[in-house]
Structure 1
Amino acid sequence: MNTVKQSAAATEWLARFDRVASVLPQARRGELRQELAEHWDALIAESTSEEELAAAVARLGDPADIVAAEGLPPVSPARSRAALGLLLLPLTGLLYLAPALPPGPPSVALVVLASLVVLAMVLRAEATAGTRALGVLGALAPLLAGLGGILDRVFQAGHLGTHEPAGPGRELQYVWASDSWVVGLGQPAMLLLGLGLPVLAGLRLRRPETPGDTRLFLGRLALLLTPAVGLAAALLLSGARLGTSVGTLLDGPLLVVALVCGAALLAAGGLLLVRPGIVLATKVLVAAAVVAAPVGVVLLAQHETRFAGVVQDAGAEPPPDAMRAQAVPDSVLAPAPAWVPADQGVRRGLGLLFVVALPLVATWRVGGRVR
């Protein structure tokens, strides 16, 4: 039989075994679990007290050690093909991500087809839950990042302008635009997601896996991805609100996608909060990073108001340089939620702290504080 007599210790131990044994071939995994279940039945039958059972469990050891003693299985052909597909996938992503005009329908169809084929290969390959999640992200990354790159070029092409009187026949002209820092960091973030994730997933699929903790891997992966995903999301959300017709059309869908991505990252990062072996101070830092990241995205998604020149009558004298250097009046500042700081530098600093610094520090602390 493959059932174990009622015991909380047995149930927990075998559940742990099931998680770490996913790297073994299915036939050997079932055979080994049958042997361990029978061994647990014998332990429970022979133990007359909880103390004796605890001592027997200690002698049995960690399930990860038992799985590791089986040796690492060779990488299956299906897994090797999936790894190769992921490593080659960024070549099609270059059609999206190159600084050129948006690609036409044939190029878009090629990228979509390649991503779907590689995604199917990843789903067919045997892998742990964490590795499979990384593979799925890698298969979809060039498609999503490339679409984001196209949208960013479309959004930034149209700025919403406003005017302020500057004397007889003259008006100062201003535009609302995405923060130059967010543009400068968000575009490389999309490039990193589109090209880096498939390579990372492909390299992980190419090598045999050692038994590990899925919660730990997914949590650290979420923290590591937060800076790139957060910067890209802030850039796209900011661009969608610049007043272009495309931005108005996609404002709602982009917000929904950003919320779904945020929820997934928060859930994966939250796995670290319930994992044993992480000290309390590190869990507090992880919780701060998980909660603060969405706030940081909102801060970075705000606009800045830039001076764009002077509207003047034909033949009039050009304005003095001092006019170009004057401060932007409050009357033309880009609107923002009431709780967002008015100063652009404060918004930028807090946003980068919440989206970039905190998740990376939390990742480092988790790596060094797991017992």
Structure 2
Amino acid sequence: MNAVTHKTAAKWLERFDRAAVALPQPRRDELRQELAEHLEAVIESGEDPDTAVERLGDPAEIVAAEGLPPVSPARARAARGLLLLPLTGLLYLTPALPPGPLNMLVILAASFTVLGLVLRAEASASTRTLGVLGALAPPLAGLGGILDKVFQAGGLMTQEPGRAYQYALGTDSWVIALGQLAMLLLGLGLPVLAGLRLRRQETPVDTRAFLGALALVLTPAAGLAAALLLSGSRLGTSVGTMVEVPLLITALACAAVLLAAGVMLLAHRGLSLLTKVLVAAAILTAPVGVALLAEHEVQPGGVSWDAGTPPTEVPRDVPDDRTLPLGLGLLLVIALPLAAADRVHRAEKDEVRNSR
């Protein structure tokens, strides 16, 4: 039996792997091999592995004795690019600069340049994933803002004998406000978060748990933005008719990513049953919440008559009170995913604390 197959030694080496993520890969592999060989020699000599592991001590202290290397130049360049990337938001936030092909071309060029820097940076899988999302967020947020402005310009005219009704189709005002805020958070906040993470040294983290929790944390912003755009695509504009199917496919792809992240979390052994139930509930109900928020409302925008007196009856197209669907949608899209992410984060902190 060697150190890899022995339960106590294997668990200690897993703790070392998490703690040594900040070390350069050649030195990390060399040090791990030395420690594994030492544990194998102890096991073969008949000494109690628990005693040997206790004598080695905390893996984090062994890593600290190596000295943490400075952030690599490639990683520093990627961090600077991510921190400067939100400046492109001026191209779709400033009213004096109407969104157009030239603006989007500049945003895309900046984002893909930063994306190349992130892919070349020396970072763990979790940090690199966050960097990629941060690099791609600004053009997606800019495109979403452009589509939202186009969608809200829609209208509908219905005619009856002797009169013509003109209705303004509009997304619920709360969904508009929250959806636009979500696009700002994605386009401006996510690159900054990724840049700050690249600027500092790696900390021991379970990659699967980090990516799963990240998907849950991003669900509110992505869900609100998707609900706003899906609602706007049905407001009667030609652009909305053209992009409704691509938007739906994009929303389904986001749901698939969330489902994959949830599967990773549900397969994680360090999470309690209650945490896994909360994660499963958040994953399965988030698309339902987006669908509830994406229902647009129809309001009378004005009435013109060929003759006679203006009508006093409210058109039948005006829906009933949507307070309950709106509240339930916000609960499923915002509150539940964030609660699940918090549970996962707490469980990971407890696991790291108990492993020391």
Structure 1 residue 366 corresponds to structure 2 residue 313: no
- Does the CA-based 8 Å contact 2:154-2:169 persist in structure 1? no
- Does the CA-based 8 Å contact 1:83-1:206 persist in structure 2? yes
- Does the CA-based 8 Å contact 2:3-2:10 persist in structure 1? no
Structure 2 equivalent of residue 258 of structure 1 = 251
Structure 2 equivalent of residue 30 of structure 1 = 29
* Pairing partner for 1:287 from 257, 280, 288: 280
d(CA) in 1 for partners of 2:248, 2:56: 51
Aligned pair in 2 of structure 1 residues 317, 348: CA closer, same or farther (>3 Å)? Answer: same
Query: Which range moved further: 20-29 or 149-158?
Result: 20-29
Structure 1 residue 296 corresponds to structure 2 residue 292: no
Structure 2 counterparts to residues 267-346 of structure 1, below 5 A: 267-313=260-306, 316-318=308-310, 323=312, 327-329=314-316, 332=317, 344-346=322-324
Shift of the alpha carbon at 1:207?
1.3
Q: How many residues align?
A: 347
- Does the CA-based 8 Å contact 1:97-1:191 persist in structure 2? no
Structure 2 counterparts to residues 8-157 of structure 1, below 5 A: 9=7, 14=13, 17-47=16-46, 52-54=48-50, 56-57=52-53, 59-60=55-56, 63-64=59-60, 66-99=62-95, 102-157=98-153
Structure 1 equivalent of residue 227 of structure 2 = 234
- Does the CA-based 8 Å contact 2:104-2:142 persist in structure 1? no
- Structure 2 unmatched ranges of 5 or more: 351-356
Structure 1 equivalent of residue 5 of structure 2 = 7
d(CA) in 1 for partners of 2:57, 2:257: 34
Identity of aligned residues (%): 65
Structure 1 residue 190 corresponds to structure 2 residue 183: yes
CA RMSD of aligned residues (A): 2.7
d(CA) in 2 for partners of 1:100, 1:159: 25
Give the AA of the match of 1:344: R
Give the AA of the match of 1:349: G
Aligned pair in 2 of structure 1 residues 202, 250: CA closer, same or farther (>3 Å)? Answer: same
d(CA) in 2 for partners of 1:304, 1:351: 15
d(CA) in 1 for partners of 2:3, 2:272: 34
- Does the CA-based 8 Å contact 1:305-1:328 persist in structure 2? no
Shift of the alpha carbon at 1:65?
5.1
d(CA) in 1 for partners of 2:256, 2:95: 31
Aligned pair in 2 of structure 1 residues 15, 364: CA closer, same or farther (>3 Å)? Answer: closer
Structure 1 equivalent of residue 354 of structure 2 = none
Shift of the alpha carbon at 1:244?
1.9
- Does the CA-based 8 Å contact 1:90-1:195 persist in structure 2? yes
Give the AA of the match of 2:223: G
3-state SS of paired residue (1:307): strand
Aligned pair in 2 of structure 1 residues 30, 365: CA closer, same or farther (>3 Å)? Answer: closer
Instruction: String of CA shifts for 1:14-61, please: whole Å, max 9, x gaps.
Output: 45544543321123212212212312321332348xxx4455445545
d(CA) in 2 for partners of 1:61, 1:294: 46
Aligned pair in 2 of structure 1 residues 99, 352: CA closer, same or farther (>3 Å)? Answer: farther
Q: TM-score, normalised by structure 1?
A: 0.83
d(CA) in 2 for partners of 1:106, 1:172: 39
